[in-house]
């Protein structure tokens, strides 16, 4: 069996094999050591570990944004390692959505416009179709009536939900979050958790979320714990 066939049989959506990563400034330092794991389609995965253990560095590699590493990364059965920046950007736009601790919405733009941006960038649908889709995503996030307000006029929790709607606009296979609830109170954290769970259970999307919130991690399908650049659990 080819590796691609194996990954499809295992229902694997993302897989890493022996990923090592070094930083060279100020001195040589191995930040990731032999990272090998497999994420299944529809899985809700949390990544935990002390500050400095390498979570964000790993997520950046998984997102295909960082290509300076040793080892291999597969997404949706396809080897990402060695592809060109342009090829990766295209795959990323289609297959991966991102949610960060700080949402990076454009404050003067409406929520609707913010949600539309990644689809306009991808350029596969007409503006009209994208607008319709953006409304639909905002509706899933309970924000349809806020669509035309400038993003800056929403509460923190609402803004984070707009950012999630934006991450969903291209119907990504995988949604990656770096502390997606890091900035939220417990009520809004629970709302975001429930949305993520719904996306995995009802839409078969896959979540990989770095979190410092033990409660959030415990409720997810699986936890990967990192320590000093290694997966210890």
Ligand X SMILES: Nc1ncnc2c1ncn2[C@@H]1O[C@H](COP(=O)(O)OP(=O)(O)OP(=O)(O)O)[C@@H](O)[C@H]1O
Does 21 help bind ligand X (rule: CB under 6 A)?
Answer: no
Q: Binding to ligand X (CB under 6 A): which residues in 100-139? A: none
Does 232 help bind ligand X (rule: CB under 6 A)?
Answer: no
For residue 54, give the nearest of 74, 69, 73 by alpha carbon: 69
Site string for ligand X, 49-78 (x = CB under 6 A): x-xxxxxxx---------------------
CB under 6 A: which stretch of 45-53, 104-112, 127-135, 141-149 binds ligand X? 45-53
Q: Which does 52 bind (CB under 5 to 8 A by kind): ligand X, Mg ion, none?
A: ligand X
* Distance, CA of 187 to CA of 109 (rounded, Å): 26
Q: Which does 180 bind (CB under 5 to 8 A by kind): Mg ion, ligand X, none?
A: none
Contacts of 222 (CB under 8 A, 6+ apart): 43, 44, 45, 46
- Quickly list H helices, 10-155: 55-62, 85-95, 111-122, 127-140
At 179, give phi and psi (nearest 5°): 50, 60
What are the residues binding Mg ion (CB under 5 A)? 56
- The footprint of ligand X (CB under 6 A) covers 23, 25, 31, 49, 51-57
């Amino acid at each position: 069996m080819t590796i691609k066939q194996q990954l499809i049989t295992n229902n694997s959506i993302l897989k890493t094999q022996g990923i090592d990563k070094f930083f060279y400034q100020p001195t040589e330092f191995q930040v990731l050591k032999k990272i090998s794991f497999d994420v299944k389609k529809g899985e809700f995965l949390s990544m935990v570990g002390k500050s400095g253990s390498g979570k964000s560095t790993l997520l950046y590699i998984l997102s295909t944004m960082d290509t300076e590493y040793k080892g291999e990364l597969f997404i949706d059965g396809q080897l990402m390692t060695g592809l060109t920046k342009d090829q990766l950007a295209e795959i990323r736009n289609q297959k991966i959505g991102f949610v960060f601790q700080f949402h990076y919405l454009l404050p003067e733009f409406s929520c609707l416009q913010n949600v539309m941006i990644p689809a306009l960038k991808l350029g596969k649908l007409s503006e009209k179709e994208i607008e319709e889709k953006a409304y639909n995503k905002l509706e899933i996030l309970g924000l349809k009536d806020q669509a035309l307000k400038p993003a800056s006029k929403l509460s923190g929790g609402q803004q984070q939900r707009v950012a999630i709607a934006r991450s969903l606009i291209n119907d990504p296979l995988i949604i990656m979050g770096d502390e997606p609830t890091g900035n939220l109170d417990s009520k809004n954290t629970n709302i975001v958790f429930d949305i993520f769970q719904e996306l995995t259970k009802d839409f078969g999307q896959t979540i990989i979320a770095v979190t410092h919130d033990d409660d959030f991690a415990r409720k997810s399908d699986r936890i990967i714990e990192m320590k000093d650049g290694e997966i210890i659990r």
